[in-house]
Structure 1
Amino acid sequence: MKLVPKFTFIAIAVSGLLLSSPHASAADNVQLEIDGKTETDGTAYLSKGTTFVPLSMFKSLFDTPILPHPSGKRAEVQFARQLYTFHDGSAIVMNDSHSYKLQAAVSFENGQIMVPLRMIAMLTGSSVSWDSGKKRAVMKSSPQGKLALIAADASISVKLYETRGRKGLVLDVDGYRKMYDWSYTDETGTPPVLLTADLNHHDGGKEIVVILTTGRGTGLNIQQVHVVDVGSFKEVKVEDPLSYVSRNVQSQISETNQGVEISMTLQGKPVQLTKKNPGFNLNGKVGFGSIIYYHVDQGILKATLAGSISNTEFIGDFDLTYVYEHGQLKAGKLQFTADP
């Protein structure tokens, strides 16, 4: 899939990282320059058009731990809360939520784990060029600063980076980038979700959907969604689901001999439920906001909010379907599914 914006950003040459020289032999040592500083350890080399560098670059550049396996045939790198696994002789690198195909296989040589420079450039949001006169690979950090990859779509043509030491996240579409004032909770263990879908069903184009976890804990799981138009990089407004559900659900909770009676009106339709009395901290009405999550189903954005009658007792899910109207994603049909 090729997603190209309709206007020009500064293109970051991530796609052109195949560093080759017509004068190189099967495996030649090359110089490596990173942000204007020449690396002098002499371990980088060029083999069949691919520049290889030691994985230890992560540790020196980003203070990132490298965890070698006792077998000597596998190593792991913890980077931006993702655990990447590199296997000797494999061109596939796995992390907790994705797999990445390299242009050449990882090689374990003389105690060094050698990986294609392209992989490090992708993970760090860097650009790479080839200085044929000096036989040197040049890697430069992004103009947005030092970046760390935190999510990618299935095709890896859309990527999301966090900025080290700065607020905001950077969205990358085929090398075109823009920073957004987004945030997420990085201690939840839940990586961001990044995907593309035709949410407006009109122009045949794609929107980028970014789902970020902003809070998580016991009885708490809150996500936020951001939708970006590929053609303009403008963010599409998404109606707040909590505000919409609060306006369209009226409820009353009362205790009876049978338990707890819950009377609701859902978009004008009555709903009656009887639940076991939790015995403490009973709400006066159904509460929302502690669990909110999003997903895309057949090109339709949906939000789910859990309804509760106490701090710990939930009664079911309120599922909200969005419709694309006048350049916005508006809340539409609302359904309730009671917990068994």
Structure 2
Amino acid sequence: MKKILTASALALLIAGCAAAPTIDSVSAAAPLTLSVDGQPVLPKLHPFHSGKLLYVPARALLEYYPVELKWDNAHKKLSLTTNSSRSVLSPGSSAMQVQYTQTDGGYKDKLEGPVLLKEGHVYVSAGTVSLLTGAEAKPAASGDTVSITSGDVSTSVRVLKEPLAIAAGSSGKVKLYTARKEGSTYKGFILEVNGRKYSFNWESPRLVSYPPELHYADVDDDGKPEAIVILSLGTGTGISQEEVHVVKPEVWKELAVPTAEKAASAAVSSRITLDNSDVVVRLELAGAAPSKVTLRLPGRAGDGGLDHFGTEAGIGAVTHYKVVNGKLKAETSVNAGIEESMGTLMLDYKAGNGGMVLDTIRFQPHDTTEQYVEKEQ
């Protein structure tokens, strides 16, 4: 599915919407209201259902998306322009023409339903909103509001009133909000615990597919639960990074937590050598339960030798945190060479030194590398 790319925000109103194909059938239910990221917008323009499709005013895009809307009254067309593309919608048509602004390329997209004109305003279906911007438009639980969740393409600085996350098992009393969203970044967060709120200056990308996680558990074993916030910092080919924050809500103190990469690098020593045609990866793991692991990669010495594999294993390309049975845990990858993952280091944290420290660490090979484990102690 092709989407318009993000650009600097422009906000021109649609004007002069004269006679053009109009809607044929609309639900006669009470007017719906519209919200974007939990805040009411465009109070005079109401979403509606036409047949089985939900429609929202095209002007809603200006509330969160960097696009210029311009109505061509002579040709009865609405253009949506960013610095990378121009899309054209025609009331009555179920197709959208897209033209790249920097090249001669373009394409035509089929829409889930026709563009509609109602009382001088252009409306598009919820599916078209998603196609254009990646945002999600759907009825809220109340049934009287259509909510647009803008995802990671917004350029507004609207403060989200709806929580980004609610901790499981907290009876809805532990919530996480963003203090502000600016472009593709969350600028600060607000943590709410039992009705009390406190702001933190953490920042993270606004990744719609990887929302923040929130847990509520006594991870330092002091008899009082902590709020644990896990933020995604980004993903890519062979890379995935997260950061974790552990907060004692009774005093709003954040506990120091060494990153999984830092803790693992301090606890693991490694050596990569060549043995005739084989590549041998040796790991020595410290911690509460020390261990040693050797992986032998048969016939791999010819794949560039140590110039390709290096002399030490790489740690931390892929890192994830989680809370399991009241314990803070992490997983971080072990690579031989730039992108060849041998397996995962499994970390358990415990209380210590005024914060959280590494307790145990163990190596878990992948299904595809388990056959290469030569010796384990």
- After TM superposition, is the score higher than 0.5? yes
Distance (Å, rounded) in 1 between the aligned partners of 2:43 and 2:342? 63
1:248 paired with 2:267, answer yes
**Secondary structure of 1:245 counterpart:** helix
Which structure's relative contact order is higher, taking Cα pairs within 8 Å and 6+ residues apart?
1
Is the Cα contact below 8 Å between 1:58 and 1:64 reproduced in 2?
no
**Secondary structure of 1:190 counterpart:** coil
Which of 195, 200, 203 is matched with 1:180 structurally? Answer: 200
Aligned residues: 252
Aligned partner of 1:227 in structure 2 is: 246
Distance (Å, rounded) in 2 between the aligned partners of 1:315 and 1:39? 53
**Secondary structure of 1:285 counterpart:** coil
Q: Which has the larger radius of gyration?
A: 2
Which of 270, 292, 295 is matched with 2:292 structurally? Answer: 270
1:194 paired with 2:179, answer no
Is the Cα contact below 8 Å between 1:207 and 1:230 reproduced in 2?
yes
Aligned partner of 1:286 in structure 2 is: 313
**Secondary structure of 1:288 counterpart:** strand
Q: Residue 260 and residue 146 in structure 1: after superposition, are their counterparts in 2 closer, same or farther (change >3 A)? A: same
Distance (Å, rounded) in 2 between the aligned partners of 1:181 and 1:335? 33
Which of 171, 176, 184 is matched with 1:159 structurally? Answer: 176
Which of 125, 150, 159 is matched with 1:147 structurally? Answer: 159
Distance (Å, rounded) in 2 between the aligned partners of 1:246 and 1:39? 53
Amino acid at match of 1:196: Y
RMSD of aligned Cα (Å): 4.2
Aligned partner of 1:8 in structure 2 is: none
* Percent identical: 22
Is the Cα contact below 8 Å between 2:42 and 2:60 reproduced in 1?
no
Could you list the runs of 5+ residues in structure 1 that have no partner in the other structure? 1-26, 31-37, 45-53, 88-92, 94-101, 107-113, 125-144
Scaled by the length of structure 1, the TM-score of the pair is 0.60
Instruction: Give the 4+ runs in structure 1 shifted more than 6 A.
Output: none
Distance (Å, rounded) in 1 between the aligned partners of 2:336 and 2:46? 62
1:304 paired with 2:317, answer no
Q: Residue 150 and residue 186 in structure 1: after superposition, are their counterparts in 2 closer, same or farther (change >3 A)? A: farther
- Where does 1:65-76 land on structure 2 (aligned, <5 Å)? 70=113, 75=126
Deviates more, 1:328-337 or 1:267-276: 267-276
Amino acid at match of 2:44: D
Deviation at 1:306, TM superposition (A): 0.6
Could you list the runs of 5+ residues in structure 2 that have no partner in the other structure? 1-29, 34-40, 48-54, 68-110, 117-124, 151-156, 371-377
Scaled by the length of structure 2, the TM-score of the pair is 0.55
CA deviation map 1:141-200 (0-9, x unaligned) = xxxx73135721245540221513487322241654333221223358422222222212
Aligned partner of 1:35 in structure 2 is: none
**Secondary structure of 2:264 counterpart:** helix
Distance (Å, rounded) in 2 between the aligned partners of 1:264 and 1:171? 41
